[in-house]
Amino acid sequence: MDSLKVKFQFNDLQLEAEKGSNLLQVLLENDVDIIHFCYHPELSCSGNCRTCVVKDLTSDTLIMACQESVDQNKKYENKSENVVKAAQWAYEFHLVDHPLDCPVCNQNGLCELQDFSLKFNRMEKLGQHVYTWENSASAVALTENLFFHEKRCIMCTLCVRFLDEITATHELGIVGKGDQAKIYPFKMLNGNNYSQNLVDLCPAGSFGRQDYKSKFLTSSLEEVQSTCIGCDTGCAITVFQNSIGTYRVKPCFDARVNRSWMCDYGRTTIDNVSGPKRIQNYVKNEKGKISFFPLEEMIPFSGVSKVHVILTCELLNEEVETSLELLKENKFNPLLFSWPIDPAKGDSFLMSKNKNPNYTGAEALFLQKGLVHTHLDFEQQLGLIQETDVILMAIPETMHDQKYFEFILSKIRKSKLKIAMSVYDNPMFLDTFDFVLPTYSFLEKNGTSINKQTLERKYSAGYKYSQLAKSVPEYISIFRMGK
């Protein structure tokens, strides 16, 4: 049975929504400009910021939009003088004790407090004094990488509700009452795999990450929509970057997969995209002597009896499909590397125990070609490698199990020529491979993968941080054709 639709009026707008829908949510979905701080569609409504005030013209009373359910023929407005003043007074109370440390706050440029200061022409009242990071408030460490600035807090309680309703871990609570109320950590958040969502939720910059501090303002960075490669959940993400580097990742709302959240581990998958370990040259290893070389010096795979090409479940569908098309000749043996599934590395929320982001897609493409694709098949094939064989291996961008990876490397060391295609450098690679070639990270590629729900996930290319990098299919084509 379809939900009952009702029509109502807000200012001069005639709107339609399901009966009983939250008024504030309906207004936001229709791009109505209305001030609010404590509301989030995934959390319960607290109504304690008191800024989303509107007038119910039916009863001639001021109400909170986040506490109102829409009904047929209701009329609301928020442009009359008493409504505007009520919202402004509530807003002013939030700023009474808020430090003016905008230049050193990670929320600078994305801060809702700043946005509404401009709306209410309050900027001219702020004065000339600007606090520094150190004297504006003392930061309390909640984890190794998460801090909390009590002085910036406007008591929206989004953080408390998230930990109560989403993770059900209850680390934060409210102590005191009235103007003495404050957020208090009853225990540290070190064991919470979703603690970084507090940074995304907070409208006033009270929560921050140590690795964001003193870097580029988020508002000055460009946004790229992509998919997390931390596991096969495939959370939708927004990545903030510029030509110098990639600095921040946030969840992007996706009702089918991750809704508004992502795990803390997923935020670390960008670390090697533009970090100091990023490979910038073609690296050659001659008996422990490391040097750089032009790719033209590489000899194509002519006169070689068997070439084992190891693809990974981090490669996108388009890369796997193109690679398999290039590897039709008998001398090529395509193999699919995947991380072992470890139940201890997953949970019942978003973190999957399968750390292979495109396992479903890559497996299907291997099956279409009648190729071996299981974890056991892969290990058995490695045992058949001969000293005269050549190894061409795509290195996973995320190192989930170093011991297992070292085991795989031990299986291929006996081959006469070993070539790695990798985003980042690692001493293990140079101990094993004769050549290490730079390839694209997941944020430098356009394409798709298939997650554990068999849903297609999309990737969009942003800035490229290795000028010599090539895709895995490009390298295969070079070595296959000698071009």
Q: Which domains does the chain have, with CATH numbers?
A: 5-91 (3.10.20.740), 99-220 (3.30.70.20), 283-481 (3.40.50)
CB 205 within 8 A of CB 111: yes
For residue 138, what pLDDT is reported? Answer: 66
Report the C-alpha gap between 356 and 358 in whole angstroms. Answer: 6
CA distance 94 to 36: 12
* Predicted local distance difference test score (pLDDT) of residue 269: 93
Strand partners, 209: 146
**pLDDT at res. 214:** 53
> What Å distances lie between residue 341 and 317, 345, 375, 376, 435, CA to CA?
21, 8, 10, 12, 29
At residue 156, what are phi and psi to the nearest 5 degrees?
Answer: -75, -20
Closest CA to 389 of 451, 317, 331: 331
Place of tokens 């058949």: 384
Angle between helix 375-382 and helix 402-412 axes, rounded to 10 deg: 40
The structure tokens 């050193």 sit at 104
Please state whether 473 falls in left (phi above 0), alpha (psi between -120 and 50) or beta. Answer: alpha
Q: Is 139 left (phi over 0), alpha (psi -120 to 50) or beta?
A: beta
Strand 236-241, strand 5-10: pairing: unpaired
Q: What is the pLDDT along the chain (483 residues), one digit of tens a residue?
A: 457 899 999 999 999 999 999 999 999 999 998 889 999 999 999 988 999 999 999 889 999 999 999 999 999 999 999 998 898 888 888 877 788 777 777 777 778 888 777 776 654 444 443 444 444 446 788 998 899 988 889 999 999 999 999 999 999 999 998 888 899 999 999 889 999 999 999 998 899 887 776 566 677 789 999 999 999 999 999 999 999 999 889 999 999 999 999 999 999 999 999 989 999 999 998 877 888 988 887 766 666 778 999 999 999 999 999 999 999 887 889 999 999 999 999 999 999 999 999 999 999 999 999 887 777 788 888 888 888 889 999 999 999 999 999 999 999 998 988 999 999 998 888 889 999 999 999 999 999 999 999 999 999 999 999 999 999 999 999 887 654
Dist. CA 328–CA 322, nearest whole Å: 11
Q: Count Cβ atoms within 10 A of the Cβ of residue 61 and give its class: 0-12 exposed, 13-18 middle, 19 or more buried.
A: exposed
Helix residue ranges, H only, 80-234:
81-95, 112-119, 133-136, 158-165, 197-201
d(CA 209, CA 247): 11
